[in-house]
Amino acid sequence: MRFFNTAGPVNCQDHYCLPPLQRFDLDTVMSLIGQKKYFLLHAPRQTGKTSCLLALMTHLNQGDVYRALYANIEAAQAVREDVTAGITAVVQTIAERAPE
């Protein structure tokens, strides 16, 4: 039985949700990625940013061209006055999430 999720990323199999890849212009995002450009996903809290990025990661990983991973780097925020510790936290988080 599906339900409304109020804590963390949405899983469309378990939760009521809007299709994440339809919430933004996927063709434009793919074009930017193909041109090796960056884009910004900016929205208020709890509006589906993480769910959209996770869906984009899955979409990219289904093909043969890209390998994407999602890494939450909020751990660096706790040490924001220590650049070395912040960078270390980011690198460790990415390394932990990267497939072998």
Nearest Cα neighbor of 39 from 48, 51, 47, 27 is 27
pTM of the model: 0.82
Q: Grade residue 13 by pLDDT with cuts at 50, 70 and 90.
A: confident
Give me the amino acid identity at 54: L
SS3 29: helix
Residues 3-14, mean pLDDT to the nearest whole number: 85
